[in-house]
Structure 1
Amino acid sequence: MTSEDKKEHIQEFKLDPDSELRFEVESKGEKAYVTLKSGLAEIFGTELVKGKQYEFLAGAKVAVFTWKGCCLELKGKTDVTYVAKETPMVIYCNCHAALELMRIEAERENKKGPITLVVGPCDVGKSTLCQILLNYAVRMGRRPLFVDLDVGQGQISIPGTIGALLIERPASLDEGFSQEAPLVYQYGHKTPSTNSTLFSMVANQLACVVKERLESNKKTKASGVIINTCGWIKGGGYKQLINHAKSFEVDVILVLDQERLYNELVRDLPSFVKIVFIPKSGGVVERSKNSRSEARDQRIREYFYGTPKNPLYPHTFELKLSDVKIFKIGAPPLPDSCLPLGMKAEDHLTKIVPITPNAAILHHILAVSYAKKEEDDLLLSHVAGFVCVTNIDMERQTLSVLSPQPKPLPNNILLLSEFQFMDSH
């Protein structure tokens, strides 16, 4: 490396109205810094404070948009940097304005505000669009609910879960939305297709609780709900979308980047559901299988250890095997000839199976369930949080876990997840 390369790389960009600066930080260990010098700018609906330096780490894919024009300074090493004049932000803003009109009417008539489902294939910017719409809503003084049904990435909690979160202020650029008291349900797999019967049950349960939440808070009721979905849109995935639309009683569906999906939904859903086709942003980047898997590991690591800006210090402690009950959901299917009379083959998908702790559950994530009794409500109870199995000592009959809070655990009923976390701290 020459001394020239080591110099801090500083670029200045003057953006015209309705344009955005896009950049990516790819290389491990690299950082980039953005400062708004003049004018107004935002990142995915969160306004930048003039003169404040914002830091972005490896893996960041950022678009700084301006409605009125601005001047930005970009420091550090980025892999891709360019200014885009063509962006779908005006369309996104029009969607927000239409939702806002529905909220004003809902407030006037004390009705439910718009329930919006965001759908489309993988890597078209669904999560980003949800973030923009939520940020715009809270900037108007609304208190919408965010529902995340994307089990692969997990924006509200760790991957393998679905959940709901009340949004009261815009997302911060390094920490995202404030994670106060999220409602989280354990599903335990990377994709809904692994056990779609279980996924439907858990999603329907979340829909029931979300409806109750809306009724209990006037401000949130009028503000409505924004629902993020996963990129599985064909076959069983399409059936899931139809199921979500019914169980959440959706009013608006925003379809990103897939006209075929748009046309199918128009054909299959009642006419009172407004279905809108939206182009994806040119800044959306397709992620490899590897980078998705890394992002999942990162989400789990952040759950236990926090972020560089906001570190957390988890606890490790031992539990007696006799003090906890561990279950998994779903048993291997039996052939029809072995089934008791009247039992359906798919019942095995939601069967609660007790697990005798053994080496196979090492490094697995366990959800701490709020269930009172395993038989009744284990499937449909939300969870208090997660621990990771770090050691099993069969001789001493103990289990060591990594936990975000000290012992005791809030409950002794634990649910096994397919996700593993190798603690490298």
Structure 2
Amino acid sequence: MTTRWALEQQTELRIEVPWDSELRLQLVSGAAEIFGYDLPPARWLVFPPAHKFAVFSWTGATIEVDGSTDSIYTENETPMQSYLDVHHLLENKRDQAAKGASSFGPRVIVVGPTDSGKSSLSKMLLGWTSKQGRKPLFVDLDLGQNALTIPGTISAIFVDEPVDPVNGFPLEAPLVYFYGHTSPKGNPDLYKSLMTELAHSSVSQLKRHPEKQSAGMIINTMGWVNDLGYKLLLDAIDSFNADVILVLGQKELHKNLLSEFEGRLSMDIIYICKSEGVVTRDQKLRQWTRNSKMKEYFYGVSSTLLPQQNSIRFSDIHIFQFGSCVGVDPMHLSPVKISQDLVYSVLAVSYAKEPRQLLSSILAGFIYIIEVDFTSKRLWYVAPCPGRLPNNLLLKGSLLWSDQ
């Protein structure tokens, strides 16, 4: 069923796609955007099942929607103007950096509890910034819902155009580090060390591209903001030397951070109301989203990739993991014994030249194990592309996946 929706000025159309069907949407007239991405006129966009998003218009628009929805309605009370005000603040800082007032543009960290809209705000700020001809660095520290690659990782990439609402970020040479679990609880020391490594790599990337330095970076964080989660958040702020903190939807967190950084004149800590359109995701939806990101990595967003099965001899591969035993140093690197327990494990292929470099090395990609054959002494695996593995040093965490 096709319906038309008229959006007045500064009004958004909030949509929830069902679990079992896709949804098509197009801009008929006017101008509208999805998280900073301008909708092309008269072109259908196809959104996958369980997708939740909002179409916003500053000046008014007509939107056509084809398909069933779990929820669809218009809303004229949105926080978009306050988001745009933040963007203008950041643009002023970027202009000052470009004139030589500082080494880098603003290092913006977006914080807040789970389901407060951090990822959406990050995409909007990235989109609006890229429309100014700038190329900010986007950093994602969210292990459970990483926007750039599979769960269990932290990552960074330069962004030179608004994020496609269907296909996501263009993944050209991202910096990716493998933690191997979807929560930092089990090994927070490893998570902190990886944040430090990613921060150093991010700064190095900016130094290699002087023309991008004034754009700065936008850092998305996880939604765990209490107890250990709060301490890890402070570690993230410190690791990336963040000078702008955007606090979404929790005044207590804003108050705590103001107290934490009292007297630091170079730090802006800004509270922003979260959008009432943000949907709370239950555990089922979170797991579904993680599985979708795994499938997307191996098969592509629209199942355009043809993942390849291949095998490698036991003797030609070396698998390691961090802090695998109770009572062992969480940063201790130990070899993984090849056994049937590896079946369906997702392994990270590292660029490290030797095991001691596994912590500090970025990743080449991921495979998952489908069979352990002790007769032929070979591991059978699936990779998103054909050819030999680029390296024989791999990392294992607790991630499991199967396309069955």
> Structure 1 length as normaliser, TM-score?
0.92
Q: CA deviation at 1:27?
A: 3.2
SS of equivalent to 1:395:
coil
Amino acid of the residue matched to residue 323 of structure 2? Answer: G
Are 1:364 and 2:356 counterparts? no
Determine the structure 1 residue equivalent to 2:23: 32
Following the alignment from structure 2 to structure 1, what is the Cα–Cα distance between the partners of residues 148 and 22?
A: 25
Aligned residue among 402, 406, 424 for 2:386: 406
Q: CA deviation at 1:54?
A: 1.4
Gaps of 5+ in 2: none
Aligned residue among 368, 376, 393 for 1:396: 376
Q: CA deviation at 1:332?
A: 2.0
SS of equivalent to 2:45:
strand
SS of equivalent to 2:187:
helix
Following the alignment from structure 1 to structure 2, what is the Cα–Cα distance between the partners of residues 76 and 142?
A: 36
SS of equivalent to 2:143:
coil
Q: CA deviation at 1:219?
A: 2.2
Determine the structure 2 residue equivalent to 1:132: 124
Aligned residue among 211, 224, 246 for 1:232: 224
Matches within 5 A, 1:5-404: 9-28=1-20, 30-109=21-100, 111-269=103-261, 270-308=264-302, 311-334=304-327, 348-374=329-355, 376-404=356-384
Amino acid of the residue matched to residue 36 of structure 1? Answer: L
Q: How many residues align?
A: 401
- CA RMSD in angstroms comes to 1.1
Q: CA deviation at 1:418?
A: 0.9
Following the alignment from structure 2 to structure 1, what is the Cα–Cα distance between the partners of residues 169 and 189?
A: 30
Following the alignment from structure 2 to structure 1, what is the Cα–Cα distance between the partners of residues 245 and 254?
A: 9
Tell whether the 8 Å contact from 2:35 to 2:165 is kept in structure 1 after alignment.
no
Following the alignment from structure 1 to structure 2, what is the Cα–Cα distance between the partners of residues 93 and 100?
A: 10
SS of equivalent to 1:72:
strand
Q: CA deviation at 1:218?
A: 1.7
Amino acid of the residue matched to residue 85 of structure 1? Answer: N
Following the alignment from structure 1 to structure 2, what is the Cα–Cα distance between the partners of residues 382 and 237?
A: 24
SS of equivalent to 2:329:
helix
Following the alignment from structure 1 to structure 2, what is the Cα–Cα distance between the partners of residues 368 and 82?
A: 45
Following the alignment from structure 1 to structure 2, what is the Cα–Cα distance between the partners of residues 174 and 25?
A: 12
How big is each residue's C-alpha offset from its partner over 1:184-206, in whole Å with a ceiling of 9 and x where there is no partner? 00000111112100000000110
Amino acid of the residue matched to residue 353 of structure 1? Answer: S
Q: CA deviation at 1:405?
A: 2.3
Tell whether the 8 Å contact from 2:18 to 2:68 is kept in structure 1 after alignment.
no
Amino acid of the residue matched to residue 213 of structure 2? Answer: K
Identical amino acids, percent of aligned pairs? 38
Tell whether the 8 Å contact from 1:142 to 1:223 is kept in structure 2 after alignment.
yes
Q: CA deviation at 1:173?
A: 2.4
Following the alignment from structure 2 to structure 1, what is the Cα–Cα distance between the partners of residues 187 and 269?
A: 28
Tell whether the 8 Å contact from 1:42 to 1:65 is kept in structure 2 after alignment.
yes
Amino acid of the residue matched to residue 400 of structure 1? Answer: W
Following the alignment from structure 1 to structure 2, what is the Cα–Cα distance between the partners of residues 359 and 27?
A: 34
Q: CA deviation at 1:240?
A: 0.9
Following the alignment from structure 1 to structure 2, what is the Cα–Cα distance between the partners of residues 407 and 358?
A: 24
Following the alignment from structure 1 to structure 2, what is the Cα–Cα distance between the partners of residues 402 and 32?
A: 30
How big is each residue's C-alpha offset from its partner over 1:91-130, in whole Å with a ceiling of 9 and x where there is no partner? 1111111101100010011620000000001011101110
Amino acid of the residue matched to residue 379 of structure 2? Answer: L
Tell whether the 8 Å contact from 1:169 to 1:177 is kept in structure 2 after alignment.
no
Moved over 6 A (4+): none
Determine the structure 2 residue equivalent to 1:337: none
Gaps of 5+ in 1: 1-8, 335-346
How big is each residue's C-alpha offset from its partner over 1:249-302, in whole Å with a ceiling of 9 and x where there is no partner? 111000000011001111112342100000111110011111101110110111
